[in-house]
Chain A
Amino acid sequence: MTENGITVRQEIRDKIAAIGEADILVGIPSYNNSRTIGHVVKAVQAGLAKYFPSQKSIMVNSDGGSSDGTMDVVHATTIHDMKSILLAHRVEPLHKIATPYHGIPGKGSAFRTIFQIADALNVKACAVVDSDLRSITPEWVELLIKPVLDEGFDYVAPLYHRHKYDGTITNSIIYPLTRALYGKRVRQPIGGDFGFSGRLAQFYLGKDVWETDVARFGIDIWMTTTAIANNFKIAQSFLGAKIHDPKDPGADLSAMLYQVVGATFDLMEAYTDVWRKVQGSEPVPTFGFEYAVGLEPISVNLERMIEMFRLGLRELGGMWKGFLPPSALDALARTAGLSAAAFHIPDDVWVDIVYAFALAAHKKQMNKEHLLKSLTPLYLGRTASFVVDTRESGAADVEKKIEGLCARFEEKKAFLVRNLR
């Protein structure tokens, strides 16, 4: 049932009415995360108690119909011994709401419910954190909320230290592309943990996207891009390491690429007039004390990635001929002949490929799902190349390489603008 635009159950509406107004809301979207959500809830509770003791705070768990008792864990989790983590007890009580969301299954629908509750409670600042996090600490709540409450920022993106092979879609496509398009160096545009103002939550709610792919898994890039493109005040906070529950490595990579890259390309269509004029990029204000963190090792099956690339080139090469520049196709053919140790797809070629896919999507040269899913072997090839290139590199070197790729994206943006008709 919907009342005043809130698609939640009556008991939750009663609870919202009883609370009236709040200062801070922390949302936790979940789906079958009973193993990890307890830790996340505790970290959020401790963070709110420690850093915002006099603010009226509320924690919302928006669940996608978990069958493993995720919501029960949320209800049951409390920190019994606050003294062990706090010097002073909080003054304001913490309210907790756990509710299943309605609408299209996906993280976006979970966020919509969180935005609706934030709007109904007229909160000043919100944060959302993933429910599968193992590395979240109470400080995350402070780092995501404080820039909004005290510094007047509207959107706070996360900044993590991640393993060099972690977040490869972010590092090779989403970050460089978003940075080149909109001119803001938001390092983790699809990080999953964000802080934002109540004003921005209202703005998000007003957008007519909740029945589209945004409601599924395009929500992260949508939130970041919408905030940047509409001139909201952007910042990022260093949160430390991002370690989450291992996901199924066999999870469909092509579906992931389709959703995330598809959402990015859709946003390019929506904000063409904004990004067309942007040249170069600038850093965004960064909060938090950056420190080195130990990261869990990641195993990579390099041979398999290269094999997938070669198979893709053999079978899909004819299809790519329709929109990839001949120079890129020649370079890919040469790469396919290299040994695993020498396997390399140059930055220039990769930028040409991503821009060619963006243009093909813009010109509707092919069914969008086919087009974006056909990017998978190329992406695996690029990831394999990155793994080979950075095998002996430390975190700083890897970051330098990603910086180099971003520079190439920015330099070649003129090609994208020129060919956009």
Chain B
Amino acid sequence: MGNFIDKIFVMPIQSFGEKLIKFLPDLLSAVLILVVGFVLGLLLKAVLVRFFRTIGLDRFSQRSGVVAALQKGGIREPASLLLSKLFAGLVIISFSILAMRALKLVVIDDVLARFLLYIPNVFIAGVIILFGYILGNFLGRAVLIAAVNAGVKVSGLISRLVKVTVFLLATTMALEQLGIGSGTIVVAFAIILGGLVFAFSLAFGLGGKEIAKTYLEKRIKGDEAKDDISYL
């Protein structure tokens, strides 16, 4: 009977106790690494906020339209704080991963290995999207101003098209970087863009025939009343 009780209760508890004693140092290391990660992350955030403010990141993000976009999405924090938080978050995540690895659990190790390999792709994809957004805004605004100054009535539409095209291109590149349905997305993008161009060609060709004719006549024959003003 005593032997039976030993086998059923005492031995497993003893074994669990031994494993727990073996595991405790790893757990303590993991907790310590986690705490260090948090402290380092917060310190880094404080330093980076000052650095980004010094180099005028907030002014740049204001000018490039990033702030406006963030505000549309309900984010009111300045870009310097957001980016500092992002870097601090990356540090904390990295230390959390190290902490989990310190636990020496096979399953976690495997998942972490895959996750770690994937992180650079996420970062690059984020940079591509951000760059695409800034470039799209810049080109969209340049096109808008040029079209308005040329007297093009649909300046806003052209500008938005340029913005969306550049952003779509950037998104496609980012998704390809993440390995999400790369072939499908490229094909979809090509079909959408091709379709848009075709649709506009048809619309202009059929609907705007008269407008195009009048415009060309004015431009080529010089029918448009011009100013003789010398501005300077």
A interface residues with partner B (beta carbon < 8 Å): 165-170, 190, 192, 244, 246-247, 249-250, 252-254, 256-257, 260, 298-301, 304-305, 307-308, 311-312, 314-316, 319, 364-367, 370, 373-374, 376-377, 383
Contacts and interface: CB of A to CB of B under 8 A. Distances in A.
Nearest to B222: A250
A196 to B, nearest CB: 19
Contact of A260 (B147, B151, B153, B232): B232
Contacts of B77: none
B230 A167 contact: yes
B227 A249 contact: yes
A278 to B, nearest CB: 25
A256 B232 contact: yes
B141 A244 contact: no
Given A167-B231, A319-B141, A370-B141, A301 B225 contact: yes
A315 B229 contact: no
Contacts of A311: 148, 151, 153, 155
A117 B113 CA distance: 72
Contact of A169 (B63, B153, B232): B232
Contacts of A190: 232
Max chain A Cβ within 10 angstroms of own Cβ: one of B141, B156, B229? B229
A203 to B, nearest CB: 24
Nearest to A314: B156
A317 B224 CA distance: 27
B190 interface: no
B59 interface: yes
Interface string B134-164: 0000100110111111010101100100000
State the 7 A-B residue pairs at the shortest beta-carbon distance, nearest first: A254-B149, A298-B228, A301-B225, A169-B231, A376-B149, A249-B226, A315-B155
B58 to A, nearest CB: 12
Nearest to B229: A165
B228 A249 contact: yes
B214 interface: no
Given A308-B151, A311-B153, A315-B148, A370 B142 contact: yes
Given A311-B155, A312-B148, A367 B229 contact: no
A161 to B, nearest CB: 14
A332 to B, nearest CB: 14
Contacts of B145: 254, 316, 370, 373-374, 376
Interface in B180-232: 224-232
Given A247-B230, A311-B151, A373-B146, 4 more contacts: A256-B231, A301-B226, A311-B153, A315-B155
Interface string B13-26: 00000000000000
Contacts of B155: 311, 315
A312 B146 CA distance: 11
A86 to B, nearest CB: 33
B229 A166 contact: yes
